[in-house]
Amino acid sequence: MLDTAHHAKPYVRETLDTRAMHFSISETQSRMHLKRPDALTLEYTRTMTGFLLFKPRPARIAMIGLGGGSIAKFCHRHLPTSHMTTVEINPHVIALRDQFDVPPDGPRFRVIHGDGASFVRESAERFDVLLVDGFDLEGQPPALCSQRFYDDCVDVLAPDGLLVANLHTGHKQFDELVERIRRSFAGSALVVDDGECSNSIVFAGKGGLLARQPVGPVRCPRGLSAEAWTQLMPAFARMVSALQRMQA
């Protein structure tokens, strides 16, 4: 399923100040400010990057789904000690990486053309954070939301590792997908709405990570720039509120 013929070809739309990737006019896969290509312009991407509340200094990050590279670019810029691997199955998406200012591969950043489910199942590496944001023309592929997949996510994470999964709130199996994640992670899952009522982000911790998270005032993680904190602060506030409800 890695050859070009098996995958839909996205198209790019531009305004005076943005560039966006679409599979259809009704769905925006990624959006970039032309003057601030590293900024997180979609609310769900800011919520996903809220993983920094739990893992402020991850050594190794993996991401399933490149899109326009919004989260990958943000991490590359603002987490200079982190190594990031992004896996994208659609070669047409990878072909657009230069149009979306995705950094070239280097010592701490790489984009792999591959199947995300296979990568998670077969990787010998262990990651502190695993971000799952893989969608195609039909929505979320079944291979990226099965019970087997979430079990494999547990295995590929380091001790105290964190899964961050983007789910469409309107998915007909939304509740079941959340339950699958909870089942794989021994009940340790936090659901946070993205603030735009279209996506929910599920944070699932390995080794009791979420249960040990202190609940208090929303603070900027040590070492995070003021520019990054300004973008992430509202998401952090939603996450803390959800964590308080979960721990009550």
User: Count of alpha carbons within 13 Å of 22, Cβ hemisphere only?
Assistant: 12
Cα dihedral sign, 73-77-82-83: positive
Q: What CA–CA distance (Å, rounded) separates 245 from 248?
A: 5
- 143 contacts 150 by C-beta, under 8 angstroms: no
- 123 contacts 152 by C-beta, under 8 angstroms: no
Type of residue at 18: T
Residue from 66, 153, 166 nearest 112 by CA: 66
Q: In the annotation, is 136 catalytic?
A: no
Q: Which of 38, 133, 152, 194 is catalytic?
A: 133
Q: What is the DSSP string of 15-34?
A: -SSEEEEEEETTEEEEEEES
- Other beta carbons less than 10 A from residue 166's beta carbon: 22
Cα dihedral sign, 198-165-64-230: positive
| Residues annotated catalytic, as ranges | 133
